[in-house]
Structure formats: C-alpha cells, structure tokens
Amino acid sequence: MAAGRYSFVIEQGATTDFEVVYNDSANNPIDLTGHTARMSIRAAQISTSQLYMTLSSSLGPCGTGLNLSGSVSAEGYPKPLSSGSIGIYISAASSSQLSFNEAYYDLEIVSGSGDCATVTRLLMGKIQLSNEVTIGSF
C-alpha cells in the first residue's frame, strides 16, 4: 500500500492539533494497540536533509508528539476517539521554534521491534509554516 498524500499548515506560535484515522480496505478502523508511531519534518524528502522536528508516540514537552490514544486537549488529557485514530499534536511553544517556509514529512506506524518490526508508511506530504507576527511569553 502506498502512503497517502496530505499537506497541511503549521501556524508558528500556535497549537497544531488534528487526528487521522487508519482504516483497512473495507474502511474499518485498524486497532493500533501495541503499535508505536513516528514522524519527521525535514527540509527535503531525503533522510539526511536538515531535521526540523521529530514526533513520536513518546510524547514530548507539553504533549507534543503522536498520540495513539487520540489527540491531547488543552488540559493535557487525550480526547475520545475511535480505534485507528492517531493524534498529531505540536504545542505552541514547539511550533514557535520552527523557522522554515516549506518542509516535508512522513508518518509511520510500527508494530513489533528491532529488525523484525513491521513499518507502515501511512502519510506523506508538504508542510507550510505560516509565520507568526504577535509573540509573547507562555
């Protein structure tokens, strides 16, 4: 299965929070129990290009990362979701550190570990950064 294509905008200094649902060929959500996720944002579609940000299912500061239990609400709690949902969350503090015009990403789901892990590339595409004008402390 080829990765789906989806492009989106990150607003610098604002919270990015959305979900994607991974469905099978019959349009049924796939159970992601026991899976992990990873996503890189880079300058070009080459793994050696400049890395702007890495997201994983090990959530970083302020919940930035990929949540296989749904995206994270402002209170820091996962939002309700159905099976197969992947929450993509980039905090305002994290997005304020970004400084590119256009970047590329892909999103992968991993089942298992080590050399025998099964990796599925779900999505890929471009990211536009909308630069902020108003800044302030958090």
Task: Say yes or no to pLDDT of 73 above 60.
Answer: no
Query: Mind listing the domains of the chain with CATH numbers?
Result: 4-130 (2.60.40.10)
How are strands ordered across the β-sheet holding 65-67?
16-21, 85-90, 65-67
Average pLDDT value over all residues in the chain: 87
Q: 32 to each of 43, 66, 129, 135, how far by Cα in Å?
A: 29, 12, 30, 38
Nearest to 69 by CA among 60, 57, 61: 57
Give the rounded percent of residues in the chain with a pLDDT score beyond 90.
Answer: 59
Q: Do the bridges between strand 16-21 and strand 85-90 make them parallel or antiparallel, or are there none, so unpaired?
A: antiparallel
